[in-house]
Structure 1
Amino acid sequence: MTQNFAASVKNWTEKAKRNVDVIVKQSAQDVARQMTQPKDGLVRGAPFETGVVPVDEGQLIGSVIVQVGGTLTGQGNAASAQPPDYASALAGFETGDTIIVGFTAPYAPMIEYGWSFGADDTNEGTGDVDVPGRFMVRQAVQNWQAIVDANAGRFKD
């Protein structure tokens, strides 16, 4: 009886460890997909939309990289305006590894947070232009807990 109980606990523990890896991998993929959700045709004069990557020529979405444990494991393709294959890039993840998904285009922070340019910073009709941020990364990261909870819900016995 004790061997059966011990074996049962061991099996449960191993399953839980596997499930954690699967949940984290899937959740990281889901957040990465959300933060790189493209919106084709966002050019000057198009309606403004937060939470999406503006895709005019594809350089921004193609600049996405994935690192697992400090090693580059995935890279987007600017020529085809495609982010990396997240499933492949995260395949080597193990519990305890750090996952980094980010934009490497030099103008990515301006798209995320917004920027101002013009004659001065007073916004008094002197030709200043304030461009609001898209917040595609921030909005996706804010969904992390809900995404993890949804993925963990798939493993409830």
Structure 2
Amino acid sequence: MTQSFSAQVHAWSEKAKRNVELVLKQSAQDLFEFAQTPVSKGGNMPVDTGHLRNSLVAGLNGSTSLTGPNAYMLAIAGMKVGDVMFGGWTAEYARPVEYGAAGRAGRFYVRGAAQQWQFFVATNAARLK
């Protein structure tokens, strides 16, 4: 038995909503993984003791209760389209590492990841086509 036109439209609409959420979540994960990638593995985050990576806090819609290098994964798991996700590094030297200080160039581990957002979204959307 074939579906009615309205049932087909509804099924298509539900699939589109699910795909938008999948693209959003995968893109957010890609962004944080990019930011957290150590210099030794081709990224921009310098890792000596691991304190900077471990200082990541993440949350949704104003909450920043999640901490640790993988805190973003828990925030992403609960994220829905329309939510505001936050992530930041609280190590006392996070800002100087990002922007540079005392004659040292910035690593731009945050800015570099943010600049890749459109690429992550386009790549993940293309995977679902």
Task: Mark yes or no: TM-score above 0.5.
Answer: yes
1:17-44: per-residue Cα shift (whole Å, max 9, x none)?
A: 111111101000000000111235xxxx
RMSD: 1.7
- How big is the shift at 1:92? 0.7
Q: Give the structure with the higher percent helix.
A: 2
Paired with 2:8 and 2:71, the residues of 1 have a C-alpha distance of 37
Among all aligned residue pairs of Structure 1 and Structure 2, give the percentage whose two residues are the same amino acid.
45
Gaps of 5+ in 1: 41-48, 77-82, 117-129
1:96 and 2:73 matched: no
| Runs of 4+ that moved beyond 4 A | none
Paired with 1:16 and 1:8, the residues of 2 have a C-alpha distance of 12
1:76-134: per-residue Cα shift (whole Å, max 9, x none)?
A: 1xxxxxx1154333111011000112111121110000012xxxxxxxxxxxxx11100
Paired with 2:83 and 2:54, the residues of 1 have a C-alpha distance of 24
1:55 and 2:55 matched: no
Alignment of 1:5-154 (within 5 A): 5-40=5-40, 51-72=43-64, 74-76=66-68, 83-116=69-102, 130-154=103-127
Under a length normalisation based on structure 1, what TM-score does the superposition of the two structures give?
0.74
Under a length normalisation based on structure 2, what TM-score does the superposition of the two structures give?
0.89
SS of 1:57's partner is coil
Larger Rg: 1
Gaps of 5+ in 2: none
